[in-house]
């Protein structure tokens, strides 16, 4: 039956391979769940859960500094609101299309269900590329984007946040436009600046969370980060704070990357070097290649599209935190990592490993934390930001970090226990899918056919 459903999903939207990939992984995990719970099957929960509740697609016209008019496309996928208002990030990247956002929204539903905070799943964005644009161009784009999106969102309806290409600057511009159009201050976006309702630790949360999740996985084998060599990909929000937390916990991060290439620094990216990366990426908006000019001990390898592997994953290490984008670890990369002695993969990015790669990790008993569990710290802390906005209060750094840490411990426990219960101990993919699905499915059952 699930194979039939999977084929139907492909037939309905044949041009959405990333969405098919995300659906396939969840449906595979659900076989064992549906065996124990036929009530989900008869209520057609799988059929309902793969179909977005609503898809919004719109024109985003804006004016460049030189007077040229550009038209981008905007999207918001409101995937599932069974357990709370739609919640999920906005991605601004030229690769953005409906299929990629549907995959992200679908993953978000299960991820949010694991956070212990009542949040449904959504995702949105645009094919706009903030790279190389002036601040004023980014502002005009964000204002135009929000001039349509504002009528579909709200603090009890749909609360977007950041993702690739959407950081504090973009959230600020969109929040300003929403406030102007609605004449209302509300916590309608998360990832806001500290001065206007943002939460401490939200910028750090996804990277820290992925490291906390990895720490829990290591503990199941009586191990820790102490002395571990770690690979991190990306050099944006998630990569930066994953690097910071791993270093704090005794590990040594030796790689970072961007869409141009990767750097390898055998001595490790310590706090000073990370401060340089943060300035380079967040303020000067430069390329990671500049790291190797600044630190001559480091090696820079530009992307070579003729290669069938990513050189970053070929360096010898113990742990890996993919934190750039989807499908950045191929089967060949995964095999190289296993051969090189990697024992832990905790995904900061969403779906960074192709399905064959995931199977290689699982078959080799790698501690493998899939994104929908391991990177849930970001949305969890967004949930904490919403809670603070709702009570017009703000919590201290320690308070938010403690809550984040406890949520990651709880997510790990839910995934770990579900994997055992459904007969695949240590399989966090099955565990996260099953535990997230059950929470949403029970809520859908309770609410009838809507
Ligand atoms: P940023 O925009 O801050 O950073 C993204 C990084 O990944 C940049 O270094 C970017 O390089 C690189 N990158 C992006 N696309 C590609 C690509 N196609 N090929 C190679 N490199 C690429 O985004 P985030 O750090 O916020 O997001 C990273 C990942 O984490 C994404 O998968 C996102 O969905 C996921 N995530 C983020 C959360 C958050 O709270 N921010 C929450 C949960 C998941 P360049 O600058 O050259 O584009």
pLDDT, tens only, 307-363: 999 999 999 999 999 999 999 999 999 999 999 999 999 999 999 999 999 999 999
Contacts 24+ apart (CB under 8 A), 395-402: 395/199, 395/200, 396/200, 397/200, 397/201, 400/199, 400/200, 400/201, 400/202, 401/201, 401/204, 401/208
Nearest 5°: the CA angle 107, 80, 57 is 85
Closest residue by Cα to atom 28, ligand 1, is 324
Which residue, chain included where needed, has tokens 């750090």? 204
Question: 175 and 221 share a domain?
Answer: no
Percent of the chain at pLDDT exceeding 70: 100
Pairing state of beta strands 344-346 and 319-321?
A: parallel
Considering the domain boundaries, does residue 6 fall inside one? Answer: no
Question: 177 and 221 share a domain?
Answer: no
Question: 246 and 181 share a domain?
Answer: no
Q: Is the pLDDT of residue 1 over 70?
A: no
3-state secondary structure of 424: coil
Considering the domain boundaries, does residue 138 fall inside one? Answer: yes
**What average pLDDT does the structure give for the chain?**
97
Domain that holds residue 282: 205-374
**CATH number of domain containing 85:** 3.40.50.10860
Considering the domain boundaries, does residue 10 fall inside one? Answer: no
Mean pLDDT of 258-270: 98
Question: 269 and 340 share a domain?
Answer: yes
Question: 218 and 336 share a domain?
Answer: yes
Closest residue by Cα to atom 33, ligand 1, is 349
- Please check whether residue 106 is in contact with residue 80, taking contact to mean a CB–CB distance below 8 angstroms: no
Distance CA 414, CA 416 (A): 6
**CATH number of domain containing 312:** 3.40.50.720
Question: How many whole angstroms from 47 Cα to the centroid of ligand 1?
Answer: 31
Q: Is the CB of 353 under 6 A from ligand 1?
A: no
Question: 218 and 363 share a domain?
Answer: yes
Question: 247 and 370 share a domain?
Answer: yes
Contact partners, residue 437, CB within 8 Å, separation at least 6: 26, 29, 30, 33, 49, 110, 113
pTM of the full predicted structure?
0.96
Question: 126 and 213 share a domain?
Answer: no
Question: 246 and 352 share a domain?
Answer: yes
Question: 165 and 296 share a domain?
Answer: no
Considering the domain boundaries, does residue 110 fall inside one? Answer: yes
Contacts 24+ apart (CB under 8 A), 387-393: 387/117, 388/187, 388/197, 388/199, 389/155, 389/186, 389/187, 389/197, 390/155, 390/187
pLDDT score, position 154: 98
Question: How many whole angstroms from 347 Cα to the centroid of ligand 1?
Answer: 12
Report how many domains make up the chain. Answer: 2
pLDDT, tens only, 101-160: 999 999 999 999 999 999 999 999 999 999 999 999 999 999 999 999 999 999 999 999
**Where in the sequence numbering do the catalytic residues fall?**
123
Question: 220 and 178 share a domain?
Answer: no
Which strands form 261-264's sheet, in the order they lie side by side?
255-258, 261-264, 299-302
Q: Is the CB of 235 under 6 A from ligand 1?
A: yes
Closest residue by Cα to atom 38, ligand 1, is 163
Helix axes 397-421, 377-390, angle to 10 degrees: 130
């Amino acid at each position: 039956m699930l194979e039939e459903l999977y084929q139907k999903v492909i037939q309905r939207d044949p041009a959405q391979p990333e969405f098919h990939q995300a659906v396939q992984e969840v449906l595979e995990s659900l076989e064992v769940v549906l065996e124990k719970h036929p009530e989900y099957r008869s209520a057609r929960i799988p059929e309902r859960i793969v179909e977005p509740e609503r898809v919004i697609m719109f024109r985003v016209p804006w004016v460049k500094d030189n007077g040229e008019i550009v038209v981008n496309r905007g999207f918001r996928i409101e995937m599932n609101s069974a357990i709370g208002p739609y919640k999920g990030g906005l991605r601004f990247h030229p690769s953005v299309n409906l299929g990629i956002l549907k995959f992200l929204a679908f993953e978000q539903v299960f991820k949010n269900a694991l956070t212990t905070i009542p949040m449904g799943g959504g995702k949105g964005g645009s094919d706009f590329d903030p790279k190389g644009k002036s601040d004023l161009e980014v502002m005009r784009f964000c204002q135009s984007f929000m001039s349509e999106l504002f009528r579909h969102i709200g603090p009890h309806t749909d609360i977007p946040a950041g993702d690739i290409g959407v950081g504090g600057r973009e959230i600020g511009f969109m929040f300003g436009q929403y406030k102007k159009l609605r004449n209302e201050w509300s916590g309608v976006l998360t990832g806001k600046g500290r001065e206007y309702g943002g939460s401490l630790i939200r910028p750090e949360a996804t990277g820290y969370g992925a490291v906390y999740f990895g720490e829990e996985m290591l503990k199941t084998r009586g191990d820790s980060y102490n002395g571990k060599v770690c690979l991190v990909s990306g050099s944006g929000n998630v990569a930066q704070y994953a690097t910071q937390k791993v270093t704090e916990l005794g590990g040594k991060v030796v790689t970072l990357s961007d869409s141009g290439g990767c750097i390898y620094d055998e001595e490790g990216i310590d706090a000073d070097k990370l401060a340089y990366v943060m300035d380079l990426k967040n303020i000067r908006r430069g390329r990671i290649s500049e790291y190797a000019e600044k630190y001559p001990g480091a090696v820079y390898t530009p992307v070579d599209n003729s290669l069938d592997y990513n050189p970053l994953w070929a360096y010898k290490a113990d742990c890996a935190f993919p934190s750039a984008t989807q499908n950045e670890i191929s089967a060949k990369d995964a095999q190289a990592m296993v051969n090189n002695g990697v024992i832990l993969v905790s995904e900061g990015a969403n779906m960074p490993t192709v399905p064959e790669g995931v199977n290689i990790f699982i078959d080799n008993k790698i501690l493998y934390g899939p994104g929908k569990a391991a990177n849930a710290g970001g949305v969890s802390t967004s949930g904490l930001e919403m809670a603070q906005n709702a009570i017009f209060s703000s919590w201290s750094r320690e308070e938010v970090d403690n809550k984040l840490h406890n949520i990651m411990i709880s997510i790990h426990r839910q995934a770990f226990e579900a994997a055992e219960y459904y007969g695949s101990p240590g399989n966090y993919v099955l565990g996260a899918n099953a535990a997230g699905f059950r929470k949403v499915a029970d809520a859908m059952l309770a609410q009838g056919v809507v």
